[in-house]
């Protein structure tokens, strides 16, 4: 699993084309490099026209950036996808069961499978959720599971995104762009559709409404236009045909959360929030917040509204808790995990810390609550100065970090000026959970490291995206 031979998803080690890529190969062979270059530029223009951008924090000169898009699709066979889906579903069920348990009887702690301080001292744990059961028992309505591939049948979960996973708009726009530019490709290859995601999302959210009286009213809560994923919030609200609201559009009226409309305030049944827990309710959490709704938590605890994802779900995607996921899956499902974790050292453990400090140059070190590739060290590509500085941070706050080996992520070809070249990729499939149903969109968001040899695929760190094909059987 180290940095040995890298698994290429299109070409076998013997130089043979993998069968799932036959259609893509035929297409590439039939196109001239000049036409592909022109199409590549056209794709970029399409993205610019649609306004698909994301904000990069801490970069004054580049507030909004276009995420680079690569026109060579990534292909997953029907058989591989079936296997992956089973593993994803098992993991999501376990996460939901874990969240219910942690906020109720805490059986997993009583059984000694997770140390109590992992929860008690965790800032993602919300005491306000103790004893609260969300409508339908669903905590994680939308989950993004980040996967990396290291071999033929080897997929590892890199992290679980259970708070507010983003990126689904790119999955949809990537497919839309490919369909528009290369319709003949889809006529020749049987690719499972992803375009039904917004309709499925709306259906799934509506199924989680507290009371079943008529058609539930769903709305999307955004922190506003300055948020890095604002484009996505607006896009999803639009695609679902629901209102996009900000905190100041909402208030509590007669024990319900209601949104301002031209005809007065209208009650909401389900709020798909893209605002962090701390900012959700100034009366219950951060009193300074202007992004949330005063009193929404009281309505929620009384069963008057569904908040998706439920407050307090962040405890399940905490990177220290991640290292216990194999135990969590086994504890709640009674089965062995179908998807492996990446081996993880918890730096709060003195032995693990000693090992990590000795091997910093070979490891990836991440903040327990970090995301977006910020605040991490990639040992093999870091300078001695960076490693020395990080060593001091680690010693000062060991409990704040976990470390993992540098995995040799699989590669997929991208189209470069010089022709096709392999680049490392990961995959974020999107999962919708409602009472009695788990729906996994076939494919997901493939993020690709555009720099040769780079393992960093995050868009905030210069990565790009591709269309992800799951073939029909």
Check pLDDT > 80 for residue 53.
no
Check pLDDT > 60 for residue 221.
yes
pLDDT band with cut points at 50, 70 and 90 for residue 46: confident
pLDDT band with cut points at 50, 70 and 90 for residue 310: very high
241 Cβ contact list (under 8 Å, min separation 6): 202
pLDDT band with cut points at 50, 70 and 90 for residue 372: low
What is the mean pLDDT of the segment spanning 4-30? 91
Tell me which of 419 and 221 has the higher pLDDT. 221
Check pLDDT > 90 for residue 185.
yes
Cis ω for the linkage preceding 299 (within 30 of 0)? no
Check pLDDT > 70 for residue 282.
yes
pLDDT band with cut points at 50, 70 and 90 for residue 62: very low
- Report phi then psi at 220, rounded to 5: -110, 125
Q: Is 415 left (phi over 0), alpha (psi -120 to 50) or beta?
A: beta
pLDDT band with cut points at 50, 70 and 90 for residue 60: very low
pLDDT of residue 176: 94
What is the mean pLDDT of the segment spanning 210-218? 86
Check pLDDT > 70 for residue 64.
no
The CATH number of 343-406 is: 3.30.1490.270
| Burial class of residue 186 in the structure, from the number of CB atoms within 10 Å of its CB (0-12 exposed, 13-18 middle, 19+ buried) | middle
What is the mean pLDDT of the segment spanning 230-234? 92
- Report phi then psi at 107, rounded to 5: -60, -35
pLDDT of residue 58: 47
What is the mean pLDDT of the segment spanning 121-139? 94
What is the mean pLDDT of the segment spanning 399-420? 90
Task: Tell me if 448 sits within 8 A of 425, measured CB to CB.
Answer: yes
* pTM exceeding the 0.75 threshold for the entire prediction: yes
What is the mean pLDDT of the segment spanning 442-470? 88
Give me the chain's average pLDDT, please: 91
pLDDT band with cut points at 50, 70 and 90 for residue 370: low
Check pLDDT > 60 for residue 84.
yes
Check pLDDT > 60 for residue 72.
yes
Cβ atoms < 10 Å from Cβ of 139: 28
Tell me which of 30 and 459 has the higher pLDDT. 30
DSSP conformational letter for 138: -
């Amino acid at each position: 699993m180290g940095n040995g031979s890298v698994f290429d998803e299109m070409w076998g080690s013997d130089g043979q084309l993998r069968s799932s890529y036959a259609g893509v190969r035929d297409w590439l062979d039939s196109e001239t490099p000049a036409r592909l270059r022109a199409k590549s530029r056209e794709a970029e223009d399409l993205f610019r026209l649609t306004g698909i951008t994301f904000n990069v924090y801490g970069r004054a000169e580049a507030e909004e950036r276009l995420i680079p898009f690569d026109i060579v699709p990534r292909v997953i066979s029907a058989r591989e996808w079936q296997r992956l889906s089973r593993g994803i579903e098992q993991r999501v069920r376990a996460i939901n069961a874990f969240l219910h348990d942690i906020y109720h009887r805490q059986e997993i702690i009583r059984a000694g499978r997770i140390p109590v301080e992992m929860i008690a001292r965790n800032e993602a744990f919300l005491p306000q959720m103790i004893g609260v059961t969300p409508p339908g028992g669903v905590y994680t309505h939308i989950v993004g599971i980040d996967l990396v591939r290291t071999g033929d049948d080897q997929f590892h979960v890199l992290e679980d995104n259970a708070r507010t996973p983003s990126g689904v708009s790119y999955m949809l726009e990537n497919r839309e762009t490919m369909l528009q530019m290369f319709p003949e490709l889809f006529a020749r290859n049987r690719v499972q559709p992803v375009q039904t995601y917004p309709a499925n999302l709306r259906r799934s959210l509506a199924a989680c409404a507290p009371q079943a009286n008529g058609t539930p009213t769903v709305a999307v809560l955004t922190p506003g236009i300055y948020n890095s994923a604002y484009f996505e919030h607006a896009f999803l609200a639009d695609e679902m045909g629901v209102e996009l609201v900000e905190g100041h559009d909402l208030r509590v009226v007669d024990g319900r959360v209601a949104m301002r409309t031209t005809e007065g305030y209208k009650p909401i049944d389900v709020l798909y929030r893209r605002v962090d827990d701390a900012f959700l309710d100034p009366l219950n959490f951060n009193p300074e917040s202007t992004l949330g709704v005063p009193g929404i938590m009281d309505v929620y605890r009384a069963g008057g509204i569904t908040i998706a994802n439920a407050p307090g779900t962040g405890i399940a995607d905490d990177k220290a808790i991640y290292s216990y996921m194999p135990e969590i899956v086994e504890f709640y499902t009674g089965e062995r995990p179908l998807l492996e974790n990446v081996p993880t050292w918890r730096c709060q453990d003195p032995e693990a810390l000693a090992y990590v400090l000795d091997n910093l140059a070979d490891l990836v070190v991440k903040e327990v609550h970090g995301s977006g590739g910020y605040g991490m060290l990639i040992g093999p590509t870091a300078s001695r100065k960076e490693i020395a500085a990080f060593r001091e941070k680690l010693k000062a706050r060991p409990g704040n970090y976990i470390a993992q080996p540098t995995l040799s992520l699989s590669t997929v070809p991208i189209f470069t000026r010089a022709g096709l070249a392999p680049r490392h990729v990961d995959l974020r499939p999107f999962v919708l959970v409602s009472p009695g149903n788990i729906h996994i969109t076939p494919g997901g968001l493939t993020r690709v490291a555009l720099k040769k040899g780079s393992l960093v695929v995050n868009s905030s760190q210069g990565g790009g995206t591709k269309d992800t094909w799951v073939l029909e059987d």
